[in-house]
Amino acid sequence: MPKYAYRAWDGLGRLETGVLEADSERAALASFQTRGFLVTSLTTRDEKERERPARRLGGYFRINRRDLVIVTRQLATMVSAGLPIISALRVLAEQIPNRRLREVIVRVRLGIERGGSLSDEIARYPEAFFPFYVNTVRAGEVSGVLDTSMNYLADYLERELDLIQKVKTAATYPVVVGLFTTMVAMGAIAFVVPVFVTIFASFKVQLPLITVIVIRTSEIVRRFWWAGMLLLVGLGMAMVVIRSSELGQRIMDAVVLKVPIVGPLVLRLSFARFGRAMAVLIRSGGPMLEGLDVVAGALGNRIVGGAVVAARDRMQAGESMSQSLQRSRLVPPMVSQMVRVGEESGTVDMIFDKVAEFYEREVDNTVKRFASIVEPVLIVGVGGLVATVALAVLMPVWTLIAKLPR
């Protein structure tokens, strides 16, 4: 009779490992399910590893968030259907088109087969699995509800991806139009205006002020274009240096919060993430104080994350969550009031869902308002720029035509 090495969690959240004799893998799984165990690993003792070992991951890279959403949803579906983690990861590795992510999944599976847990193995790959992801999986393993935690995590990632896509879509239009307009304007000033300058000089026409300004701008652009390029490269390098340090990142995050329109949008996006992440954390059964640290790192802004960490410290000193949040100037009063209602009614997870839904709608509305404001501003700006260059060229031409003998 075949022997199977297993890792399984009982109904009290305790991990058990050992060897079981059964007629088949299906019979072994049925044996565990009748006793209420959640199997995370089930392999035959004499099973040989048939797959080529994954190569060492080299260089810095990030896994595309959309790929991670798809993998998480597929894994959640298979675990909910009762498929062991090992088998689920093997199926995933065969379906993932992303080579980097496939390599990570294979190595995670190999680690589990050697006796590791899912959370410990994915924690080895922070380029693919961020801390909140790892801690949610770990909480699900400890509490024996890994399938539920994975489903919550998949829902969280899908909603966050949808929210980010809305913001990116709204920002793409003005950025593309702005860059295109700037390129056209620079091309006209650098190459078209000089042609007319030669014509105007040959006729010795008195040039209007607007034409003089455009001509001087053209001369500066043509003479010092390299300085502009150096300035752009310097700014880019400065941004990279600033973002590489914790202090620089905090300064940039603080500046972003002060920018009109952008600041309120970032704040609402952060609290939408906060509400959704807290709901997942509570339902997964993770430790609250430790989980708040992880949630703070998932908000996308270190200043807002710092406010959550400060609230965690006050909770550690004995305050309730609602009191701790209320004392932060960055936390909207509505959030702390809703949390207080949740604490009194014992429905904190549902309240955090409501907070997330509210701020997701706010982000959506802000993005729509931003788009409705930016479009006419861009039209006026582009029209004004074109009109300025056209007038600068045509006004001297009109003067020449007026001086022609009739």
Contact present, 57 and 104 (Cβ < 8 Å)? yes
Contact present, 45 and 6 (Cβ < 8 Å)? no
Q: Considering the domain boundaries, does residue 104 fall inside one?
A: no
Contact present, 211 and 389 (Cβ < 8 Å)? no
Residues 41, 164: one domain?
no
Q: Considering the domain boundaries, does residue 84 fall inside one?
A: no
Amino acid letter for position 10: D
What tokens does 368 get? 């729509």
Q: How many domains does the chain have?
A: 2
Q: Which pLDDT belongs to residue 222?
A: 84
Contact present, 282 and 355 (Cβ < 8 Å)? no
Specify the DSSP element, H or E, that contains 342. helix 333-345
Q: What CA–CA distance (Å, rounded) separates 291 from 132?
A: 8
Degrees to nearest 5, angle at CA 91 with 89 and 94? 110
Name the one residue in this structure whose structure tokens are 């065969």.
Answer: 94
Q: How far is CA 49 from CA 40, 53, 178, in A?
A: 18, 9, 55
Sign of CA dihedral 87, 120, 164, 155: positive
- Encode burial over 368-388: b for 16+ CB neighbours within 10 A, e otherwise: eebeeebeeeeeeebeeeeee
Q: Considering the domain boundaries, does residue 152 fall inside one?
A: no
Question: Could you read off the pLDDT of 254-300 as tens digits, one per residue?
Answer: 998 898 888 888 899 889 889 888 888 888 777 777 778 888 887 88
Q: Considering the domain boundaries, does residue 216 fall inside one?
A: yes
Q: In the chain, how long is the greatest CA-to-CA distance?
A: 113
Q: Considering the domain boundaries, does residue 307 fall inside one?
A: yes
Q: Considering the domain boundaries, does residue 190 fall inside one?
A: yes
CATH (domain of 6): 3.10.20
Residues 286, 406: one domain?
yes
Q: Considering the domain boundaries, does residue 165 fall inside one?
A: yes
CATH (domain of 274): 1.20.81.30
Q: Considering the domain boundaries, does residue 166 fall inside one?
A: yes
User: At 230, is the pLDDT very low, low, confident or very high (cuts 50, 70, 90)?
Assistant: very high
Q: What CA–CA distance (Å, rounded) separates 232 from 386?
A: 24
Residues 228, 372: one domain?
yes
What tokens does 50 get? 């048939």
Backbone angles phi, psi at 16, to 5 degrees: -125, 140
Backbone angles phi, psi at 8, to 5 degrees: -150, 150
Residues 396, 262: one domain?
yes
Residues 343, 194: one domain?
yes
Residues 395, 251: one domain?
yes
Task: Look at 75-84, 163-172, 228-237, 346-355 and tell me which has the smallest mean pLDDT.
Answer: 163-172
Give the rounded percent of residues in the chain with a pLDDT score beyond 70. Answer: 90
Q: Which pLDDT belongs to residue 13?
A: 60
User: At 54, is the pLDDT very low, low, confident or very high (cuts 50, 70, 90)?
Assistant: very low
- At residue 106, does pLDDT exceed 50? yes
- At residue 29, does pLDDT exceed 60? yes
Q: Containing domain of residue 174, as a range?
A: 160-406
Q: What CA–CA distance (Å, rounded) separates 15 from 389?
A: 74
